[in-house]
Amino acid sequence: MIVGFMSSFQEVFAQEVRIGRQVADLEFEKALLSFSRADELHFFCANAATRNRFEQVFGDLIRAGGRRVRAFTFLDLPACLQHYDYTAIHQADPVSYFTPLAHVRNALAPTVPLTAVTHTISYREIISETFKKLLPGPMPFDALVATSRSAAEVVQRNLDFLSRGLARLFGENLAYSGRIERIPLGVDTDRFQPRDRLAARRRLGLPDRAFVILSLARFNYFLKMDLLPLLHFWRRSPVRKGALLILAGAEEIGYSAMLQGQVRDLGLEAGVLVRPNPNETVKADLLAAADVFISPVDNVQETFGLTVIEAAASGLPALVSDFDGYKDLVDPGRTGYLLPTAWAPDHPVGALLSATLLNNIGHLIQSQGTYVSLAELERRLAELRQHPEKRAEMGRQARQAAIRRFDWRVVIGLYETLWGELKASALAYQGPPGPIRDPFAFTWSDIFGHYPSGPLPDDALLTLTRAGRDYLADQARPAMYSDVAPLLATDLLKELTASLAKGPRPLSDLRNLAPGLDRALLDYHIVWLLKNYYLQFLDPETA
């Protein structure tokens, strides 16, 4: 087996790799060098400088591997395709190289399968670029590898959406001719494992007996998750007593300073710790010190969730959004719990301007219309706090699941099995290449509509939270991000909130308050109020 790996290798130039895709690529490369059973591994780099840096970064693994590992540049690719019988060529970036490389492959080595792994799949340009997968080139023995079920469905929805649009324009039914496979990202379960909790807490200066809840993720409300609703919830939650909430992650846009300001403004200094840019040693101690891992992600930019499996490998139960790739990472009731979600992401102004908006603004509009159940988070935190034996058992189950499903040895084995299967199909293939088509516009729901737990139920009862009653009493404008503020009508927010002043009402009643208003616009306001903890769903059993 000879496998080629084609990438820009941006991660080898980073002084400290923090971005999810770069972390995933770097760890994949290390795992491939450490655990692959291939006879030869060929790495194709964008240029000579990148090749030299690659050989420097991975020098020890290359020398210790005991196998033939060679680094080339892209310009070496044609000669290598003619000289070597590759089992497959794999790409870290399906956007830039998949179809162009297919053309080269078809000309020089038509029985070499191509695979490419998805990372970020929500940027508008990436979704539009998907149409290239339908240009002549990709073959039935090529495969796009999605890291989760949700990501695989996004890829299929993206392809189907573009196909329908082209059929309307040109009257032709076009389809991607390759395969969509699912292989998760991996985790180093030797590096991430349970460690002495008390020792870690003392190194970090944390109280020995506190119930420690850890959120570990990039600090970016545009492209990761909004943590302000979590702070608003935490201020009033009974779980807060004797507990410590730690928000840690790589700083990207100054968000940690905003969070620290909110912590001060809300009087939460004693119970919330914000730790920007923890190094690997501190990160390991944070995972060791925690009792529970949480991640209320609300953004379609998230495709998998590396920190969730790192926490699992570290022996932590996880409470995470029932959203995107997180659905695959937690076994509810065994390794943690999924928090119900709902959304109304397609604000009509945002949809109209979608092609002109920066990705961060488009994603912010989407995520501000996405609700994660903080009531469920509170219930499950209380449960795990009250039952430490259950918490410990969930942590053990999470660790075992990480070893069984996400250890890099397992993941590399899955890739090598896929490459072998595709090679056999390539040798037997006799059909034509795929056809051509162009992309069309879309909304979030067209492609990511399966991410939430389900649609907003008409018969669900809504009620005010204490924050909602405070909002009605002081008549102040609710706090909102300036980038999304023009899309939210404060009069409508106030009307929706005031409609519940006399008691709970079904969602259908709120939708009838403004019958002439665009349904998507109305639902966006309702979910924004839910998201920011002004409203909540009322449990029928306690009503």
The conformation of residue 457, written as its DSSP 8-state character, comes to: P
**Does 543 fall in a domain?**
no
The pLDDT of residue 543 is 42
Same domain membership, residue 381 and residue 254: yes
**What values do phi and psi take at 150, rounded to 5?**
-60, -45
**Does 360 fall in a domain?**
no
Q: Which residue has the tokens 């909540």?
A: 536
Q: Which residues pair with 541 in a beta bridge?
A: none
Same domain membership, residue 378 and residue 238: yes
Q: Rounded distance, CA 12 to CA 55, Å?
A: 10
Q: What is the pLDDT of residues 126-137, one digit of tens each?
A: 887 887 787 777
Q: Rounded distance, CA 131 to CA 268, Å?
A: 49
Same domain membership, residue 154 and residue 9: yes
Cβ–Cβ < 8 Å for 527, 371: yes
Structure tokens belonging to residue 408: 């890099």
Q: What is each CA distance from 225 to 123, 172, 230, in whole angstroms?
A: 16, 40, 10
**What values do phi and psi take at 251, rounded to 5?**
-80, 135
**Does 130 fall in a domain?**
yes
CATH of the domain at 236: 3.40.50.2000
3-state secondary structure of 299: coil
Same domain membership, residue 417 and residue 380: no
The pLDDT of residue 16 is 64
Helices (H), 243-358: 255-265, 280-289, 306-313, 348-352
Same domain membership, residue 394 and residue 246: yes
Q: Rounded distance, CA 65 to CA 92, Å?
A: 21
Q: Rounded distance, CA 496 to CA 527, Å?
A: 11
Q: Rounded distance, CA 195 to CA 312, Å?
A: 13
Cα-Cα-Cα-Cα dihedral of 232, 236, 241, 247, to 10°? -10
Q: Rounded distance, CA 240 to CA 509, Å?
A: 34
The pLDDT of residue 15 is 60
The domain total for the chain is 3
**Does 312 fall in a domain?**
yes
Q: Rounded distance, CA 366 to CA 445, Å?
A: 10
Helices (H), 84-148: 98-108, 124-129
**What values do phi and psi take at 221, rounded to 5?**
-75, -20
Instruction: Catalogue the E-assigned strands of 322-428.
Output: 336-339, 341-343, 370-372
3-state secondary structure of 117: strand
Domain that holds residue 508: 456-537
**Does 399 fall in a domain?**
yes
Cβ–Cβ < 8 Å for 325, 305: yes
**Does 205 fall in a domain?**
yes
Task: Work out the end-to-end distance of the chain between its first and last CA atoms, rounded to an integer number of angstroms.
Answer: 63
Structure tokens belonging to residue 362: 């488009």
**What values do phi and psi take at 312, rounded to 5?**
-60, -45
Same domain membership, residue 228 and residue 169: no
Please report the sign of the dihedral spanned by the C-alpha atoms of residue 395, residue 400, residue 403, residue 406: negative
Same domain membership, residue 115 and residue 212: no
Q: Amino acid letter at 99?
A: T
**Does 111 fall in a domain?**
yes
Same domain membership, residue 254 and residue 212: yes
Q: Rounded distance, CA 261 to CA 258, Å?
A: 5
Q: Give residues with Cβ within 8 angstroms of 473, minimum separation 6.
A: none
The pLDDT of residue 542 is 46
pLDDT in tens, the chain (543 residues): 999 999 877 777 766 656 677 788 888 999 999 999 999 999 998 888 888 888 888 888 888 866 689 988 888 888 899 999 999 999 987 676 788 888 888 889 999 999 999 888 888 888 878 877 877 778 999 999 999 999 999 999 999 988 888 788 888 787 888 999 999 999 999 999 999 999 999 999 999 999 999 999 999 999 999 999 999 999 999 999 999 999 999 998 899 999 999 999 999 999 999 999 999 999 999 999 999 999 999 999 988 999 999 999 999 999 999 999 999 999 999 999 999 999 999 999 999 998 899 999 999 999 999 999 999 999 999 999 999 999 999 999 999 999 999 999 999 999 999 999 999 999 999 876 532 232 333 678 888 889 999 888 888 899 999 889 988 888 767 888 877 887 888 899 999 999 999 899 999 888 888 888 888 899 999 999 999 999 999 875 544
**Does 57 fall in a domain?**
yes
Cα-Cα-Cα-Cα dihedral of 17, 21, 25, 27, to 10°? 60
Half-sphere exposure of 522 (CA within 13 A, CB side): 16
Same domain membership, residue 333 and residue 254: yes
Q: Rounded distance, CA 29 to CA 410, Å?
A: 14
Same domain membership, residue 117 and residue 246: no
Same domain membership, residue 216 and residue 127: no
Same domain membership, residue 420 and residue 394: no
> What crossing angle do the helices spanning 466-474 and 490-498 adopt, rounded to 10°?
120
Q: What is each CA distance from 33 to 3, 40, 65, 495, in whole angstroms?
A: 11, 10, 7, 60
The pLDDT of residue 522 is 92
Q: Which residue has the tokens 């000289």?
A: 83
